[in-house]
Amino acid sequence: MRNVYVAGAHMTRFAKLPDETVRTLTEAAVGGALADADIAPSEVETTFFGNAISGIITGQEMVRGQSALRNTGVLGGPVVNVENACSSSSSAFNLAWLAVASGQVDVALAVGSEKMTEPTGLKAKAALESAVDLEEVAVLKARLGDNDEGEGDRSFFMDLYAGTARAYLERTGATAVDFAQVSVKNHLHSSLNPHAQFRKTTTVEEVLASRTIVDPLTLLMCSAIGDGGAAVVLVSEEMLRTDRAKVKVLASVLTSGYAQQTTAYDDSAVVRAARKAYEIAGVGPEDLDLVELHDAAAPAELVLYEELGLCAQGDGAKLLASGETTLGGRVPVNTSGGLLGKGHPVGATGCAQITEIVDQMWGRAGARQVPGVRVALAENGGGYIGSDSAAAVVNILSR
């Protein structure tokens, strides 16, 4: 396997964008990434297009990527459509990395684009609920217990996150205030990100007072519906054309959950992906300068601190309280604002995480710039199977 580098990356603004489509979002992201890399569309040898829910939202199936990319100039070469729930474009990135690392191509494009908003406001909920094994929904609901309290039109995924949250509270002694602090931190970071969906800071009191979605989750502890696109250009060393610092992909690992109704901590998809990624990259969690992770609901960030080895099991809330994961801390987490602050157009999230890391490594993150970022990790999960993520991707980059 040969070395692979990020030559360019770009993301659109994440927001509710009624005048945009998957195609226009894709065009903006791809055009920006190719210009950033100084790569012509005709030089792209293969494209992996990540999208999760267009089939339900717009009805576009089968050739989502070809349809979205038709005006970008990259058609003619292979286009592979990648649908892997919220980790769709992280999986696209993994495949683009593999294509270049294997020597099959010198230039590969990873794209994520998603349009979640639509007039009824109901299709996104149905789309998100399809990211579980539909034959086990009754089993999942029985395990979680019937809960009709809170917001009636919530996604079933929030019930799953709430179940995880309650188990975390019981296991660690953390409180809902700790979950609120995650949202406060990430909204602080997103207030400094011009691409973020939410540009205002919030307080613990405001988070706790926002309406209950499902106990113990409140509205401001949950990621919102939004639209957006992001793209990353991956190349062999010979195709690097700028004098910027080289951003190398040290590891890219994709795993899936085992579909067991109980999952041992060491067997979780994220733990296994992180363990393998650290081994391949030759680094450990203590070497990380920055982390972007999948905080679709605030409690997930604390769980992921532990699964990624940023702290000991059970110490996620302590790590957050220490300030080490906030800007200015030892290992800032979700400097983009994460899914809670930056937004979560599901198919675009993975490439957006990479874009944040690249912007940080190239010193162009503006007011949220972390000095001297040399090693960073992106983690993204997708779907739910048994008692675990259906898919998990961990990418480690270095400068």
The yes-or-no verdict on residue 151 having pLDDT over 70 is no
Residue with tokens 């040969």: 2
With a pLDDT cut of 70, the percent of the chain lying above it is 97
Confidence (pLDDT) at 139: 83
Work out whether the CA dihedral 19, 20, 23, 28 comes out positive or negative. positive
What's the CA gap between 29 and 228, in Å, rounded? 9
Confidence (pLDDT) at 2: 96
Q: What is the pLDDT of residues 97-135, one digit of tens each?
A: 999 999 999 999 999 999 999 998 889 988 998 999 999
311-320 CB contacts, 8 Å cutoff, 24+ apart: 313/265, 314/171, 314/172, 315/172, 316/168, 316/172, 316/174, 317/172, 317/174, 317/175, 317/178, 320/178, 320/181, 320/182, 320/185
Active site residue 86: yes
Confidence (pLDDT) at 138: 84
What's the CA gap between 98 and 92, in Å, rounded? 10
Catalytic, out of 86, 222, 311, 351 = 86
Structure-model confidence comparison of residues 154 and 32, the more confident one: 32
What's the CA gap between 219 and 30, in Å, rounded? 32
Q: What is the pLDDT of residues 300-340, one digit of tens each?
A: 999 999 999 999 999 999 999 999 999 999 999 999 999 99
What's the CA gap between 224 and 297, in Å, rounded? 10
**84 bridge partner residues:** 86
The yes-or-no verdict on residue 152 having pLDDT over 70 is no
Structure-model confidence comparison of residues 31 and 125, the more confident one: 31
Confidence (pLDDT) at 122: 87
Q: What is the pTM of this model?
A: 0.96
What's the CA gap between 269 and 257, in Å, rounded? 5
Cβ partners under 8 Å of residue 225, min gap 6: 16, 116, 117, 121, 124
Confidence (pLDDT) at 73: 98
The domains located in the chain, with CATH, are: 5-119+225-398 (3.40.47.10)
Residue 150 pLDDT grade (very low, low, confident, very high; cuts 50, 70, 90): very low
Q: What is the pLDDT of residues 153-199, one digit of tens each?
A: 556 778 888 999 999 999 999 999 999 999 999 999 999 999 999 99
Q: What is the pLDDT of residues 252-307, one digit of tens each?
A: 999 999 988 788 878 999 999 999 999 999 999 999 999 999 999 999 999 999 99
Active site residue 222: no
- β pairing state of 227-235 and 107-115: antiparallel
Confidence (pLDDT) at 343: 98
The yes-or-no verdict on residue 362 having pLDDT over 50 is yes
Residue 48 pLDDT grade (very low, low, confident, very high; cuts 50, 70, 90): very high
Nearest to 105 by CA among 131, 130, 77, 132: 77
What's the CA gap between 185 and 338, in Å, rounded? 10
Q: Average pLDDT over the chain, rounded to whole?
A: 95
Confidence (pLDDT) at 121: 81
The yes-or-no verdict on residue 352 having pLDDT over 50 is yes
Catalytic, out of 10, 187, 294, 344 = 344
